[in-house]
Amino acid sequence: MRKGVIIPAAGRGRRMGGRKKQFLCLGGKTVLEHTLTVFLNHLEIAELVVVLPAEDLGEAYELLTPFLKQWGFVGSTFASFVTSDGKRQLQLVPGGRERQDSVFHGLEALKDRVELVVVHDAARPFVTRELLDRVVRTAAEKGAATAAVPVADTVVTVEDNNRAGEFLPRSSLRAVQTPQAFHFSLLWKAHLKARREGYYGTDDAGLVVRAGHPVYLVEGDPGNFKITTPIDLKKGEALLEGKKKVLVGMGYDVHRLVEGRKLVLGGVEIPYSHGLLGHSDADVLLHALCDALLGAVGAGDIGRYFPDTDPSLRGISSLVLLERTVALVQEKGFRVQNADVTVVAQAPRVGPYVEEMRTNIARVLGVETDRVNIKATTTEKLGFAGRGEGIAAYAVVTVTEV
Ligand code: CTP
Ligand code: MG
């Protein structure tokens, strides 16, 4: 069955204080873009119609042009986009006074183009592919389906003077969501009947039932709530925050101890008979840390960015390298959360310098000192570190998506 979707996005957001919800920003993207993404990623949905306030069509066209490129859509005529292979189309259509009018305009735009139509509110950006597939599958089989969830609150009718009327049995009640899906002809006829009779309902499933066809309830998703009032926007932000990626990186480095060099660890010069050999200041601790950061964001290793053949890096403080690495992490869209480092050295004793190192590193990472942990260990005189031939360092970091 050829499938299409109508996304009603022509509301005025009265309960949001007159702010059009579809264009509000949620985690760096508009609510409309979040919603559209789920349908654009569903390649079986060949026809997309976004119904918008007439006065916003031009601006929406501008907003969506770069966004839709990711799925291979290019503008064809004013208010319509097609993919380069010509297989998918997205139209922008002006809405009507009520949501029902807006959906009807969408149906007109899809007439004779699809056999199955999904209707999904722009204001429900947390719809998932799984829920969409459940609704589509049931509608394909039975003609009409909608997502619905059990009601958490007791529901009561309101009589005069705010007197409670009938308390309805919760087990037989459901709250209706979108997506809803229908054989196109079924929804088309239900809308025509409602228009003829001047009837206005709150959703499409209701119109189909009113036209005498059964609509089947599919288990909805409490996360698929409709952004209606300002508190819903806060809820949405919190939900997105929880979905942000957390990445971990590890780093390891070793430098040889030689006479006639300064010993620098964690950006602190430590008085000692030997120092670490290297092209830069050879701060093995910070090198391990840089590698951990690069590892976390999948950016290779320190040698790729700061090769020891680069004359401008000769003798450079590794705090500068750390600064540049942190900038790279930020460019990739991440923020450092914490770092844990172990220095492996038989001598000198590192303990007395740990606080100063933590302060140096925390400043460059842009975190509280508590988020930087530095430990030192000997190897009981075993191995190269135990014999005092070199110092090793291990680092682990976490970064989170901004
Ligand atoms: N909608 C529409 N055309 C209308 C009214 C609503 O396309 N004339 C869309 C909204 O943009 C929204 C969905 O239908 O995506 C659900 O409507 P609702 O949550 O009521 O949004 P608004 O009408 O914008 O909000 P309000 O009722 O608070 O004004
Ligand atoms: Mg409304």
Tell which one of 120, 121, 204 to mutate to probe ligand 1, the residue whose CB is within 8 A of the most ligand atoms: 121
% the chain with pLDDT above 70 = 100
Q: Which ligand is nearest to the CA of 15?
A: 1
**Residues 80/61, Cβ–Cβ less than 8 Å:** no
Please tell me if the CB atom of residue 89 comes closer than 6 angstroms to any atom of ligand 1: no
| Average pLDDT over the chain, rounded to an integer | 97
CATH architecture of 246-401: 2-Layer Sandwich (3.30)
Residue 119 buriedness (CB in 10 A; 0-12 / 13-18 / 19+):
buried
- pLDDT for res 374: 98
Q: Which residues pair with 145 in a beta bridge?
A: 181, 216
Residue identified by tokens 């959906």 is 103
Structure tokens given for 365: 């990472």
- pLDDT for res 259: 97
**Distance in Å, CA 100 to ligand 2 centroid:** 10
Tally of residues, the chain: 402
* Nearest of 48, 47, 42, 65 to residue 9 by alpha carbon: 48
Q: Which amino acid is at 360?
A: N
Determine the Cα–Cα distance for residues 205 and 185; give it in Å rounded to an integer: 14
Q: Which ligand is nearest to the CA of 11?
A: 1
**Distance in Å, CA 159 to ligand 1 centroid:** 27
Closest ligand 1 atom to 122 CA: 15
Determine the Cα–Cα distance for residues 374 and 90; give it in Å rounded to an integer: 55
% the chain with pLDDT above 90 = 97
**Distance in Å, CA 118 to ligand 2 centroid:** 19
Please tell me if the CB atom of residue 143 comes closer than 6 angstroms to any atom of ligand 1: no
Determine the Cα–Cα distance for residues 401 and 333; give it in Å rounded to an integer: 6
| Protein residue with least CA distance to atom 18, ligand 1 | 11
* Nearest of 100, 67, 101, 102 to residue 81 by alpha carbon: 67
Closest ligand 1 atom to 52 CA: 7
Residue 327 buriedness (CB in 10 A; 0-12 / 13-18 / 19+):
exposed
Over residues 206-247, the pLDDT tens digits come to 999 999 999 999 999 999 999 999 999 999 999 998 888 999
Over residues 298-339, the pLDDT tens digits come to 999 999 999 999 999 999 999 999 999 999 999 999 999 999
- pLDDT for res 28: 86
Same CATH topology for 3-243 and 246-401: the answer is no
Is the pLDDT at 254 greater than 90? The verdict is yes
Q: Which ligand is nearest to the CA of 16?
A: 1
What would the mean pLDDT of 78-95 be, rounded to a whole number?
95
Closest ligand 1 atom to 101 CA: 8
**Residues 339/308, Cβ–Cβ less than 8 Å:** no
Is the pLDDT at 101 greater than 90? The verdict is yes
Please tell me if the CB atom of residue 22 comes closer than 6 angstroms to any atom of ligand 1: yes
- pLDDT for res 368: 97
* Nearest of 373, 302, 298 to residue 337 by alpha carbon: 373
Closest ligand 1 atom to 103 CA: 7
**Distance in Å, CA 61 to ligand 2 centroid:** 23
Structure tokens given for 175: 């709250």
Over residues 47-63, the pLDDT tens digits come to 999 999 999 999 999 99
Determine the Cα–Cα distance for residues 126 and 135; give it in Å rounded to an integer: 15
Tell which one of 99, 108, 180 to mutate to probe ligand 1, the residue whose CB is within 8 A of the most ligand atoms: 99
What would the mean pLDDT of 367-391 be, rounded to a whole number?
97
Please tell me if the CB atom of residue 14 comes closer than 6 angstroms to any atom of ligand 1: yes
Structure tokens given for 114: 């699809």
78 pLDDT tier (thresholds 50, 70, 90): confident
Structure tokens given for 372: 């930087």
Please tell me if the CB atom of residue 391 comes closer than 6 angstroms to any atom of ligand 1: no
Q: Kind of pairing, strands 45-52 and 3-8?
A: parallel
If one counts every other C-beta atom within 10 angstroms of the C-beta of residue 314, the result is 11
- pLDDT for res 242: 86
Integer angstrom CA distances of residue 187 from 167, 218, 280? 32, 18, 71
Q: Where are the domains of the chain?
A: 3-243, 246-401
| Protein residue with least CA distance to atom 20, ligand 1 | 11
Residue 111 buriedness (CB in 10 A; 0-12 / 13-18 / 19+):
exposed
Is the pLDDT at 276 greater than 90? The verdict is yes
- pLDDT for res 77: 85
**Residues 117/4, Cβ–Cβ less than 8 Å:** yes
**Distance in Å, CA 309 to ligand 2 centroid:** 64
Domain at 3-243, CATH homologous superfamily: Spore Coat Polysaccharide Biosynthesis Protein SpsA; Chain A (3.90.550.10)
- pLDDT for res 226: 97
